[in-house]
Amino acid sequence: MKYLIKEISVFFPTYNLESKIEKTVRDAFRVVPKLAEKYEIIVINDGSRDKTGEVLKKLKPKYKNLRIITHQLNKGYGGALKSGFYSSKYSWIAFTDADGQFDISELPKLIKKQKSSSADIVAGFYLKRAVSLLRKLNTWLWQLVVRILFRLKVKDIDCGFKLIRKKVIDTVPKLESERGAFISSEFLIKAQKYGFKIVEIGVHHYPHTGGKGTGADLNVIINSFVDLFKLWRKLR
């Protein structure tokens, strides 16, 4: 069997998704084994208060390549991403949301894009983002500031579907942010500073139907801007 990629770690940050996580895992095991000779699928259970952990415990015996990392306390999206990045063992790492807003069956597109471009990072961009106008406005303002401060040449900084060479994670300074609104920017800024090649490809985005996210909360936005300016001063 000819695989698209030699090896890959795929992980899903997860919080309070008892009704969705089984489908996410099943979909991943339907897609990923066809793509790579060696693979692992990791679920980061980020302090879920519902039955997400129980569902994962029942799934574990069915899938030998499933790894579960459990945070006893919720660390936020940034903390979950860091656990995924630093726990992945294979030379390529992919991640996406566990709540169904992205389709894991689009992962082959990212792999083919990497092969045609020899990129170190393939970042998805939203073909059409399924969020409110206010959220789109917040994102536009955030990305404008990031581009001005750091000259980051990425269309959609915060898109939660990426394929990354593990060498990037091993090379750039350790990520510091725990906030989801900032960690994608921090990662891409550091990767660009270290000369890694970033390309983009369009991915579909579907409406969020789970619990309320915190990405649009005013205090999260303010603190993320504070973190951003701290990073700017540090990297000047």
Indicate the pLDDT class of residue 214, thresholds 50, 70 and 90: very low
**Choices 3.40.50.1100, 3.90.280.10, 3.90.550.10, 3.40.190.10: CATH for 5-235:** 3.90.550.10
User: What integer pLDDT is reported at residue 79 of this predicted model?
Assistant: 93
Q: Tens of pLDDT along 160-173? A: 999 999 999 999 99
Q: Tens of pLDDT along 92-133? A: 999 999 999 999 999 999 999 999 999 999 999 988 776 667
Q: Is the pLDDT of residue 212 over 50?
A: no
Cβ within 8 Å of residue 104, ≥6 positions away: 10, 24, 27, 28, 31, 32, 96
Closest CA to 227 of 149, 156, 131, 160: 149
User: What integer pLDDT is reported at residue 180 of this predicted model?
Assistant: 62
pTM of structure? 0.88
Q: Rounded mean pLDDT of 143-155?
A: 83
Domain limits of the chain?
Answer: 5-235
User: What integer pLDDT is reported at residue 181 of this predicted model?
Assistant: 65
If you average pLDDT over every residue of the chain, what do you get? 89
Distance of CA 50 to the CA centre of its chain: 22
Which ranges constitute the DSSP H helices of the chain? 21-31, 52-59, 76-87, 107-117, 133-150, 166-171, 180-193, 218-235
Tell me what percent of the residues of the chain surpass a pLDDT of 90. Answer: 66
| Separation of alpha carbons 12 and 182, rounded Å | 18
| Separation of alpha carbons 45 and 89, rounded Å | 18
| Separation of alpha carbons 103 and 118, rounded Å | 23
Q: Rounded mean pLDDT of 64-72?
A: 97
Q: Rounded mean pLDDT of 80-87?
A: 96
User: What integer pLDDT is reported at residue 236 of this predicted model?
Assistant: 67
The answer to which of 12-16, 134-138, 184-188 has the lowest mean pLDDT is 134-138
Q: Rounded mean pLDDT of 205-226?
A: 64
| Separation of alpha carbons 191 and 165, rounded Å | 11
User: What integer pLDDT is reported at residue 211 of this predicted model?
Assistant: 46
Taking CA atoms, 146 is separated from 140, 141, 191, in Å, by 10, 9, 14
